[in-house]
Structure 1
Amino acid sequence: MTAMKMKMLAAATALTVLVLPSVGDAQSGSAAGRTSNQPIAFGADSGEQTAETISLRGRAEVTQGDNRLRADAITLYRDASGDPDRVEATGTVYFVTPTQSMRGDRAVYSIDGGEVVVTGNVVLTQGRNVLTGGRLTYNVNTDAATMAGAPRGSAGNRIQGVFYPNGN
């Protein structure tokens, strides 16, 4: 095994303390049960590692529990002690939980706070319900979401949505 492959394997092992949520664990409340503390797995067509980052390119994917972040490119950033502290995804970005999916042009996940911010032509889908805007903030530990608008043609700086009552 080459030194580069060994480094990538070591990086993959080190990342098992990382990111992405599982909505079902949001009710647990304890730090150990927090979604953002679950182990993760990742894959991509190619990748590289430096002391500060791990870069994944081509069909990049990071999963944790029942949730998945998929994008053209994903970069995992480390803090001064080498622990992962932020994940950035660019290109066509999808963040999928068991109950909803989010799509945008870019996503930033802050691991300590458990917060995912999706920007750029954001579409949030939950069943048949759809909400669009320019910026979505989603907390992986509490399942709370906030949508903000962005200039989009005649809609202006507004969010838009379609919600279907139960039974429709």
Structure 2
Amino acid sequence: MMQTCSFNARTISRFVSAAAVAIVVCASTDARAQSTATGVPNAMQGFSQNRDKPIQIDAASLEMRDKDKAATFSGNVKVVQGDTTMLCKTLVVFYDNDQSSKKPAMKSATPGPAGSSSIKRLEAQGGVVVTQKDSTVTGDKGVFDMRTNTVTMHGNVLLTKDKNVLRGDRLIVDLTTGVSRVESNSGRVQGVFQAAPNNAQQGGNAAGAQPSPAPGAPGKPLKLNDLPNSRKRNG
């Protein structure tokens, strides 16, 4: 039977806001398979937008391992907050019941059986999919590290926004600096971005006005290396 666990938004808000910034669509070009960008809208930012709304976790089972200080949600795990949804096969929450810790941030009424615990790390595994409106992020595994304030998505990372697509093997985000990085084992990050329609062509050219040059035909896919103002690093 499917179990439903509802968490108070305040108890997990810091985790959610961290995750919100984690998955960032990176639009800059890098021949060494690393691309950086900040502040680009993406599906995970929906958690931040909905931070005051309750978080609901649905799973087939919940296993508590107090000796390991871990709680595991298993079986078609679904996390919902507002209009943002995360799906995965398992979600493992690692916590610390040591009340003498100097960093008591991120308190949660669950998962620790002692009733009050500090979340150290979360691992979403198995077909991780985060969706908000027309934005989607997928990967094999997502790790949210509260101590280092970083988030890493591993394996077959795919970021989409409307018809824009970016692929890589890893997505690493430093939440302190707000810098994200996409890496690829093959040596190159792949992306396809939709060219915006030319306003002059849509509304008709003014008398004697020349249409603005465009990197590609309006409405057609635009390859990452064809983006205007892109910069490549040499070998």
Q: Provide TM-score, normalisation by structure 1.
A: 0.68
Query: Could you say which structure has the greater relative contact order, defined with CA pairs below 8 angstroms and 6 or more residues apart?
Result: 2
Amino acid at match of 1:127: D
1:158 and 2:188 equivalent? Answer: yes
Return closer, same or farther for 1:36/1:119 CA change in 2, 3 Å cut-off.
farther
Gaps of 5+ in 2: 22-38, 40-46, 99-116, 198-218, 220-235
Give the CA deviation at 1:93: 1.0
Give the CA deviation at 1:42: 0.8
Give the CA deviation at 1:91: 1.2
Alignment of 1:126-165 (within 5 A): 126-138=161-173, 145-150=180-185, 156-165=186-195
Q: Rg larger in 1 or in 2?
A: 2
Correspondence for 1:153: none
Structural RMSD (CA):
3.5
Alignment of 1:13-24 (within 5 A): 13=7, 17-18=11-12, 19-21=15-17
Return closer, same or farther for 1:86/1:60 CA change in 2, 3 Å cut-off.
same
Q: Provide TM-score, normalisation by structure 2.
A: 0.51
Correspondence for 2:64: 49
2:153 paired residue among 102, 105, 118? 118
In the comparison of the two structures, how many residue pairs are matched? 146
CA distance in 2, matches of 1:137, 1:99: 22
% identity of equivalent residues: 27
CA contact (8 A) 1:76 1:87 kept: yes
CA contact (8 A) 1:93 1:105 kept: yes
CA distance in 2, matches of 1:59, 1:96: 15
Gaps of 5+ in 1: 27-33, 151-155
Return closer, same or farther for 1:41/1:78 CA change in 2, 3 Å cut-off.
same
Correspondence for 1:29: none
CA distance in 1, matches of 2:58, 2:10: 13
CA distance in 1, matches of 2:178, 2:194: 20
Return closer, same or farther for 1:37/1:114 CA change in 2, 3 Å cut-off.
farther
Amino acid at match of 2:16: L
CA distance in 2, matches of 1:78, 1:16: 17
Correspondence for 2:80: 63
Q: Which has the higher strand share?
A: 1
